[in-house]
Structure 1
Amino acid sequence: MSKYKDKETGALVSFNAIWVSWIHTVLAYSAFLSALTIGIYLHYHKIVQNEHYGFPDEWFPSVSATIGDRYPERSFFMFFIAITSGMLPRREHPEPPVEAQANLAVSSHGPRFALVALWYILTAKRGSALPKFVAATGLFRTLTCGGWAYITSTDDHDWHDIFMISYLVATLPWTAGCLALSPPNAKAIKYRKYLAAAFFGTIPPLVYYFIQHKVYRVPGAYSTYALLEWSLILYDVAFDAVTALDFDTFEIVIKDVKGLSNGPSTMAYEGASFSPSEYGIGNGVASRPALNLEKEREKAVAGVFDAKFSWAEVLDTAAEVYLGFVFWSMLTSLGVVIWYFPLWHMGISGYEAFVMSTISPLLLGIKPIRSLVIHNLRACHFLSLAGLVAWQVKDPAYRLFTVGFGVAMACLSWAATLFSESVHKARLESKVLAWTVGLVMSSAIKFAWWTNNPIWPIMTDANGGHNGTGLALALLAVLRFTRKAPLNTGAFAEDRQTGTSLLSALGIGGLFFGLHSLLSDTSTMILWVWEGYPVRGPLAVTHGWFTIAAMTAGLLTGIRQPRLVSTWTVYGVGCVGAAVLTSYANWFGYYGGLVTAFYLTAIATPMLTVASKKSPAITYGLGFFVYNILVLFHVWVVAYAFVPGGPLVREHTEWIMIAMMLTLGAGVFNLTSMNARRPESHKPASLSRHRKYHTLALGAVNVFFLAAAYMRFPVNDYKPYHADSRVLTAGIWTIHFSLDNDMWSSEYRIRDLIKELEIDVIGLLETDLQRIIMGNRDTTQFLAEDLGMYVDYGPGPNKHTWGAALLSKFPIMNSTHHLLPSPVGELAPAIHATLDVYGELVDVFVFHSGQEEDEEDRRLQAEYLSRLMGASPRPSILLAYLVTKPLQGNYNTYASKLSGMHDVDASDWDRWCEYILYKQLQRVGYARVSRSTITDTELQVAKFVVPRSDEEKAEVAVVNGNFGKRNRRVNEHEVLEGWRFPGLFKGQGVRGHRYHVWSEPIYYKPS
């Protein structure tokens, strides 16, 4: 009810605050629905059109196409959305209780900002920071909504995406915070739960249909996506509309505090006040016990949020998780810097001994050392940061020494920390969670950095590193992490009911190996099950979050149900998951991987908790030794040619998985025997509190991952460099596992050379980095996304090869992976891919032959691949590492009537490894480009013209059949400009890259 000019109270106007909610809802819906209605009426066929399909395949417009592209619907949207928001009122009393009156000094305010302000006033309590956080989130959401509403994707695609992602990210804490702060109103709580569930339940199918449209180009998928997108808008606005059920406790009063309205010149109001009535009168709430409603509210948010909030605990959790991330960053970097040395020595170098850096907790078995370390944990953690400082050490050997020392100190410090906290259940579990949540954070950050870690010692500013920032944050984290004195400085906390240290050590070894080998990068298990095109399984970018989600679910289950995950039944499920991952491909294999991820993270908390209560020298010292044995086993299955006894374990990844599960089984046996003797205890309140903060940290990591996935989502806008000339530029390069001669990650430098040479299709060799010793990386992800190319990874990490990959500007219609005969030496990988090149199907073969020492292997491989190439009736290109001299030995099998292939230039006598062969294409150019310090092998490039008509194909066939015409060289000016190689690399070239062997590229032209 409104009142006008109440002279006794000075009130000019008063009305119930429920109108703020209704006005906000009506205006917000009007903005979107008016644009949709007008857009469909005026521009239906235009706004349903997307980059792949139009009407009738697509039949419903997306939100962005409706509100951002055309007049007048864009104007209607902006008009109503502008009225919806306004200036935020200024609070004069920062923390009034709900019973108090809150005065607002208002110059102008829209319903959106008023809604946020009213919600804060309603929920604010003295000593509680959560309402402030939720209000700040609401303000941030409103501002970012204005960002993506007024800056459309047509105006500025990047900023539109930034605002949109920020808005979606802020929606999670806003929704959860509103649920947590809901007044005890049964109807409002119920509606908020339903709408929040509908909103977040819509996101998975939304992502699914977007992938169907963007990646698989399914007709009509974008329209379904658009319907789901519009439903999110409806749910989002409706969620805020529920405030109408709570705001009826407020009355908004506008007063004339100076009496100017009584005179003839009265123009405006001076201020406004909110005077809430007694809560619960007339709204049907009083009849319901408040206690039950509070429980219902807490249940709605799973107890994660409550009104209590402590910045001290937030900082503690952040420091713990970040230091856990630092530990995993250093541990995962150790293998990479070790691998550099046997890689260049082509065998055991002696530096491999640094893999034993992790067994430093054995020193804790010596009582004086244990006492020294525990009493100086801050100093030990600071010393462990040497692993982060290592990027400043330029010499590879000294850098390895620095990283090895850092890892040794990190393992020692963490083992001592857990042991010192073992007598306090809450503090111990908090540290254990920090260690494991740090792994999830490490995997998420690696995803955001294309499987590299920005604080690794192989990273610098030049290749995407942020080492200085990472080190600074680590120093602050150590100060916070070690601010509390150790609780246990000497005596073991174990008793007879906690099992044996030996079994615990075996479990720790298997656990750390599983976490490191399978979960330190979200793309590892996806590449295990990758089988080529057409896509039949998960993709690293679009489906990587499933791995993070499984890890998150496992961790949360492990801390809430430790006895359940410690049973033999759950262990059996984990074994089945590992078996499925090892034995099957595509989606079914990945489902097994998700089960494995869930189990490994679920069992981590109970296993690490028990291990911390025993002798750290045995549980962690011996445990890391077992881990190291599994790491070496993990390497030897593929590097069997370089180690004594290697052939005994060659290609037996299944043995590794069995060993991992058996050692985990030893730990489970320890847990089950302990649980059988001990009654189940209830968790204290302090334990619940720290769990909430770590759960929030996990939520933040998941949101970060999803935001990174959105930014990395493939655009599929792949165009060849010289489409007008119908030229295909092909290259072959052995990239030496993306480590350059000075032990720096080389992806950026590889990218630059490929881009500047304008290569359309390239075969990359020595690309399988998905092992502990290589950092669980995938160079092809960065190259494909940055260069705008399709990628086929080739035989996966569980196929025991050094890797072959194909990058293509042209769509890959089909690809098959081959493991060529290798009875003695290394397995030889090959990719047979069919590309759509200017409307013509062209086969491309990428191949890495066996070692020089294994002559019979290479002969069998030459025959296999030649038959494979000869069976193709289509134009074909071979991009290969053949290990043979030109015109000698197996060369004459590859370039023969059996294969139908021709050498790109048979007169090039200076080759030994890399070759380019072709058939049924017009060869127009060939060049060799020096490698600089990127790798140990040059880049070879050839240009081909794809024949279009039957006459052109017949002419090419004649030329291919005449050796003399095929080898007719011409000067550069005699070929079309689009057929020429870039002049950038002539003479001295750039950055150490130049045309060499011949100082200029070679061009060919038929007579």
Structure 2
Amino acid sequence: MAYSAFIGALVVGLSLHYHKIVENEHWGYPEEWFPSVSATIGDRYPERSVFMLFIALTSGPRFALCGLWYILTRRPNASLPKFVAGIGIFRTLTCGGWTYVTSTDAHDWHDIFMISYLVATLPWTLGCLALSPNHPTALKYRKLFAGSFFATLIPLIYFFIQHKVHKVAGAYTIYAFFEWALVLLDVAFDAVTISEFKDLEIVVKDNRGISRGAGNKAVSDAILEKEKAKEIAATFSGAFSVFGLLDAVADVYNGFVFWSMLTSLGVCVWYFPLWHMGISGYEALVMCTISPFLLGIKSFRYLVTRHVVVFHLLSLSGLLAFRAERPVPRLFAVGFGLSMSCLAWAATFFAERSQPRRLESRISAFSIGLVASSVAKFAFWTNNPIWPIMHETTGGWNKTGLGLAVVAILISARSTASKGADLTAPGPVTKGVSIFPAFGVAGILFSMHSLLSDSSTMISWVWEGFPVRGPLAVPHGAVTLLAMGLGLSIGLFAPNLSRSWAFYGVGSIGAAILTTTSHWTGYLGGLVLAIYTMAAAPALITHAVRHSPAKTFGLGFLVYNFMVLFHVWVVAYAFVPGGPLVRERTDWVMTAMMLLIGSGVFSASTAPSNSKNYKGKATSTAAASRQRSYYLYILGALELLAIATAYLRFPTYNYTPYHPETKSITAGIWTIHFSLDNDMWTSEYRMRDLIRELEVDVIGLLESDLQRIIMGNRDTTQFLAEDLGMYVDYGPGPNKHTWGSALLSKFPIVNSTHHLLPSPVGELAPAIEATILAYGEYIDIFVFHSGQEEDPEDRRLQSEYLAERMKATSRPAILLSYLVLKPGEGNYNTYVGEKSGMKDVDPSDWDRWCEYILFKGLRRSGYARVSRDTITDTELQVAKFVVGQPENGNDLVPVENVPPGLRFPPLFNGQGIRGHRYHVFDEPRYYA
């Protein structure tokens, strides 16, 4: 019946509406010649009715299949069969949702039902494979269909991007074939039950009290009973407890709060040297994390481990910090809260060391808390909703996050195994110095924070511009999160592997590939490193707790802090003592990180394995079934949430400029000061509002690279591009050691090249050279940030380099730049004139120092300077150009003589709005 529904609709659709159902938003017949599933089943009558009729007839058997599968696979005290049955019912209901609510009826609800169905397919497939009875033929076909299904997703996504992003003719037809293959494989996977149900007898009796329940065990039950001693099977065979799951959720949320505070400290500290343009003194607060050194005092250690809940509650000042309006008290609140959190977590790990399964649960919560933090940032456009730089008007969930944190701490931190006593870890006494485990903790913390605290960080490392030759922040951020989950699972189920030298070698190779290569190759290296980092964390932390917490975690956080400073100095070398010694040495940072992790591996690999020395294997396995499964359920839920977020955030790429009727481009340049406003609040929302209200089509953003610990591992361009409907080029990534440049455009970016301009002495100068397609004509856009004032030779060399690039293009061009010069003097004459072929947007504007807009091959229509209010320290400059018309002179015309589509919005006249107004000239200038 399912095949009849799809194939019947296809036959009817091809017969009656062939040309209509093969057409999409970009192409029609003959470029596209085969319809997609959605176009076939939902757009036209009568094929839509044929599909609905037959798919309705499948509903009864489908529910029966879920019920019979549960009866076939259920076992006493096993929770997995119930979970899989519930997923099966959920899939059936959501199938009805996207069947009867078509994209034509309600596009959003159709997508919600469809993505829910697809997301639920993963646990349904894996659950059926895990529960499949000992039927070799059925198991073979299930693996074949499931493997083919997931393998098909890769080319499916590839050709969808080719169609949606690159608008390749014929790509949607190829995508359609893979989409139809998914349908056939999905139905075929469930059809395999014909083999497994053939020996299942259904008996209907009217005798009260008679049941076949537990009287006769199926063959599959007998086999699974034999396998129950195996750890993976045991994890999901225990009795399900709602309270056990709630404990795990609270534990993970506590870990999420820790990572939220740790990732917020850097961006709060960064605010002060940013505004002082040098060392401010507040940088000392990065050392607040070394509070575990206090655990070296025995009486204090007793107090903390016995009353750890109190210290967790004290740590919530880091979340309550958002109530402080001024930056200084907010920073100190975050520093105090984080110091208490580091102290509490170190004490918790140490206090649980006598109970390996309790310790594993705490480490799992700590690690999954990082995944939760990254998922939250993925869903909130790289901002964590409970950070102290967020509030309600910028999308913050601070009050909700704080309330949940209080409840979570009261549940998860109410007691520890030791309750104050120094109970030793089971097994032989650990010998050796504690410095190596401390180094291991430092390395693994730094790797988790610098590379995995945001799903798009490693993607920005390997991004090299258009055309797309590697991963995108959306949707591939979900792949990073899946790799993190896979790595943690390896760490839990294969601890000996995760602390082995062979696996360390694999992780080191991944780090080297990420550091030295770009595009997909570099990203694959990053995924390997992500898997290794998350896998090694449980082993290294488990070994560290066998030593003094003051030595391992105190020293570990101290070394981690130096790694953070090292990580900053490679780009901030011009502002810190000794900075030139580590200028542009990210490779040294990565090498140091892996050497630190290697020290931990050396110490852990020489210690006896807990699994070999811990007595009571049956007890351990039973504990795993009661505890570990809950954390894996939570991890699975977070991964599904990441996949759903990737789907919902996938851009439409159907962008249009603000005034296509005039063939105009409104171009702007803005130095956004790392998206922190004057009062230390994140500024994305305010930036978006100003850019939208000014109707900017193309904008260059400078000081925009936020993918570092000190900037919170953020990416403002993701939010702006998605909310404003613009294409985006992130510019040179964080491993290129610049302060960043980015380009957003309403017009497709056909090609872009990233440049690092000559900088023998000072900071590196980034530039983007891009080609956009505007109104059928190719136009070059240059976005550039020159070196600082203290290095005149750097700026001279940079001006000559960029002038050569601009002179070399025969196409119309626009420069959106930060030049650090006075009009008419010095390097200005290199940027403007015969050497570059470029003209100044307004040569009479003498009141400039930093931002300049230059152009050639276009008619300049208008120019305006707009005040920044408190968003940043630099105004927004904008200019209007008309495509397809020759360059004009500098003669001004009154606004009354300008067509409405070429005028700047009157919203900013006079006093303007929200502190933004036309200033310097007090009004825009228009040119004849």
Say whether the fold is shared (TM-score over 0.5): yes
Distance (Å, rounded) in 2 between the aligned partners of 1:459 and 1:163: 31
Q: Match of 2:94?
A: 144
The one-character-per-residue Cα deviations of 1:418-439 (angstroms, maximum 9, x if unpaired) are 0000011111111111111211
Of 202, 211, 214 in structure 1, the residue corresponding to residue 152 of structure 2 is 202
What is aligned with 2:270? 339
Q: Cα distance 1:478–1:247, how it changes in 2: closer, same or farther (>3 A)?
A: farther
Distance across 2 between alignment mates of 1:301 and 1:707: 27
Conserved? CA contact 1:179–1:301, under 8 Å: no
2:470 is matched with 537
Q: Confirm or deny that 1:974 pairs with 2:904.
A: no
Q: CA contact under 8 A between 1:492 and 1:615: conserved in structure 2?
A: no
Shift of 1:131: 5.0
How much has 1:115 moved relative to structure 2? 4.2
Shift of 1:940: 0.4
1:376 to 307, 329, 339: 307
Determine the structure 1 residue equivalent to 2:38: 64
Deviation at 1:856, TM superposition (A): 2.2
**SS of the residue aligned with 2:178?**
helix
Q: Does 1:763 align with 2:700?
A: yes
How far apart are residue 228 of structure 1 and its match?
Answer: 2.6
For 1:300 and 1:192, locate their aligned partners in 2 and report how far apart those are by CA, in whole Å.
Answer: 23
Aligned equivalents of 1:596, 1:337: Cα separation in 2? 28
CA drift of 1:925 comes to: 0.5
Match of 1:472 among 391, 397, 403: 403
Instruction: Pick closer, same or farther for the CA change 1:198–1:298 going to 2, 3 Å.
Output: farther
Matches within 5 A, 1:908-923: 908-923=845-860
SS in 2 for 1:598: helix
How far did residue 252 of structure 1 move?
Answer: 6.9
Two-structure CA RMSD over aligned residues (Å): 2.7
Distance 1:938 1:564, change over 3 A: same
Give 2:525's match in structure 1, choosing from 569, 592, 604.
592
Instruction: Measure the CA separation in 2 of the matches of 1:161 and 1:663.
Output: 46
* 1:496-575 aligned within 5 A: 496-575=429-508
Give the C-alpha shift of residue 979 in structure 1: 0.8
Q: Secondary structure at the match of 2:607?
A: helix
Contact conserved, 2:765 with 2:787, CA < 8 A, in 1?
Answer: yes
Cα distance in 2, alignment partners of residues 181 and 595 from structure 1 = 30
Q: Residues 583-622 of structure 1 correspond to what in structure 2 (within 5 A)?
A: 583-622=516-555
Q: Give the C-alpha shift of residue 558 in structure 1.
A: 1.9
Distance in 2 between residues matched to 1:988 and 1:997, nearest whole Å: 13
Question: Is contact 1:182-1:297 (8 Å) kept?
Answer: no
The match for 1:685 is 621
SS for the counterpart of 2:32 is coil
Over alpha carbons, which structure has the higher Rg?
Answer: 1
Deviation digits for residues 415-468 of structure 1 (CA, Å, limit 9, x no counterpart): 000000001111111111111121122112211111111111111121121112
1:566-715 equivalences in 2 (<5 Å)? 566-675=499-608, 684-689=620-625, 690-715=627-652
Question: Residues 291 and 342 of structure 2 are in contact (CA less than 8 Å); yes or no, is this contact kept in structure 1?
Answer: yes
Return the alpha-carbon distance in structure 2 between the equivalents of residues 580 and 180 of structure 1: 35
Instruction: Map 1:581-980; keep pairs closer than 5 Å.
Output: 581-675=514-608, 684-689=620-625, 690-947=627-884, 952-953=885-886, 956=887, 959=888, 966-980=889-903
Contact 2:309–2:415 (CA under 8 A) maintained in structure 1: no
Distance 1:691 1:203, change over 3 A: farther
Change (3 A) 1:182 1:340: same
Distance 1:539 1:289 in 2: 44
Structure 2: runs of 5 or more not aligned: none
**Aligned counterpart for 1:992 among listed residues 909, 915, 924:** 915
CA contact under 8 A between 1:180 and 1:298: conserved in structure 2?
no
Deviation at 1:907, TM superposition (A): 1.0
CA-CA distance at 1:305 after TM superposition:
3.6
2: distance between equivalents of 1:606 and 1:300?
17
Letter aligned with residue 3 of structure 2: Y
How far does residue 306 in structure 1 lie from its aligned partner after superposition?
3.3
Deviation at 1:672, TM superposition (A): 2.1
Query: Which residues in structure 2 correspond to 1:2-81 (within 5 Å)?
Result: 26=1, 28-81=2-55
Shift of 1:662: 1.5
- Which amino acid letter does the alignment assign opposite residue 678 of structure 2? N
Instruction: Compute the TM-score of the two structures, normalised by the length of structure 2.
Output: 0.94
Higher mean C-alpha displacement, 390-399 vs 122-131: 122-131
1:350 positional shift: 0.9
Q: Which residue of 2 aligns with 1:270?
A: none
Worse overlay, 411-420 or 543-552: 543-552
Q: Describe the shift of the 1:529–1:173 C-alpha distance in structure 2 as closer, same or farther (beyond 3 A).
A: closer
SS at structure 2 position matched to 1:152: coil
Q: Kindly tell me: are residues 563 and 121 of structure 1, through their superposed partners in 2, closer, same or farther at Cα, counting changes over 3 Å?
A: closer
**Secondary structure at the counterpart of residue 653 of structure 2:** coil
2:105 maps to 155
- Supply the distance in 2 between the matched residues of 1:170 and 1:564 (Cα, whole angstroms): 31
Question: In structure 2, do the counterparts of structure 1 residues 909 and 720 end up closer, same or farther at CA, with 3 Å as the change threshold?
Answer: same
State how far apart, in whole Å, the 1-side matches of 2:927 and 2:173 are.
50
| 1:351 corresponds to | 282
* CA positional deviation for 1:739: 0.6
CA displacement at 1:181 relative to structure 2: 5.3
Give 1:773 deviation, angstroms. Answer: 0.3
Superposition pairs for residues 288-437 of structure 1, below 5 Å? 291-292=222-223, 305-306=236-237, 308-437=239-368
- Following TM superposition, by how much is the alpha carbon of 1:241 offset from its aligned partner in structure 2, in angstroms? 3.9
Distance 2:214 2:240 in 1: 25
Give, in angstroms, the shift of residue 568 of structure 1.
Answer: 2.4
| Deviation of 1:782 (Å) | 1.0
- List per-residue Cα deviations over 1:845-865 (Å, max 9, x = no partner): 111111122222222222221
8 Å contact kept, 1:250–1:276: no
Instruction: Identify the residue that residue 161 of structure 2 maps to in structure 1.
Output: 211
Q: Which moved more, 1:933-942 or 1:714-723?
A: 714-723
| Paired residues of 1:881 and 1:915 also in contact (CA < 8 A) | yes
TM-score (norm 1): 0.87
Amino-acid identity (%): 63
Question: Contact 1:423–1:488 (CA<8 Å) still a contact in 2?
Answer: no
Taking the aligned partners of 2:431 and 2:77, their CA distance within structure 1 comes to: 42
**Residue type at the aligned position of 1:453:** N
Q: What stretches of structure 1 of length at least 5 have no aligned partner?
A: 1-25, 86-109, 258-272, 960-965
Moved more, 586-595 or 690-699: 690-699
Alpha-carbon distance, 1:582 to partner: 1.3
Q: Structure 1 194/869 Cα, relative in aligned 2: closer, same or farther at 3 Å?
A: closer
Q: Per-residue deviation at 1:224?
A: 3.0
Shift, 1:356, TM fit: 0.5
Query: In the comparison of the two structures, how many residue pairs are matched?
Result: 921
Q: 2:305–2:418: 8 Å Cα contact kept in structure 1?
A: no
Q: Deviations over 1:914-968 (max 9, x none)?
A: 1111111100001111111111111000000011xxxx44xx3xx3xxxxxx111
Counterpart-to-counterpart distance in 2, 1:292 and 1:855? 77
| Secondary structure class of the residue paired with 1:499 | coil
- For residues 241 and 213 of structure 2, the distance between their equivalents in structure 1, rounded to whole angstroms, comes to 30
Alignment check: 8 A CA contact 2:228 2:237 kept: no
| Deviation, structure 1 residue 491 | 2.5
Counterpart of 1:91 in structure 2 is none
Aligned partners of 2:415, 2:80: CA distance in 1, in Å? 26
How far the C-alpha of 1:137 sits from its partner, in A, is 3.1
In 2, Cα distance between the equivalents of 1:158 and 1:344?
44
Q: 1:657 to 1:274 in 2, by over 3 A?
A: same
Do the aligned residues in 2 keep the contact of 1:251 with 1:274 (CA within 8 Å)?
no
Identify which range, 241-250 or 667-676, moves more after superposition: 241-250
Question: Aligned pair in 2 of structure 1 residues 83, 587: CA closer, same or farther (>3 Å)?
Answer: closer
Change beyond 3 A, Cα 1:197–1:539: same
Deviates more, 1:367-376 or 1:563-572: 563-572
Is the partner of 2:325 in helix, strand or coil?
Answer: coil
Moved more, 690-699 or 183-192: 183-192
Following superposition, the deviation at residue 304 of structure 1 comes to: 5.5
Aligned counterparts of 1:480 and 1:185: Cα–Cα separation in 2:
44
- Per-residue deviation at 1:618? 0.7
Query: Alpha carbons of 1:300 and 1:604: their partners in 2 closer, same or farther (altered >3 Å)?
Result: closer
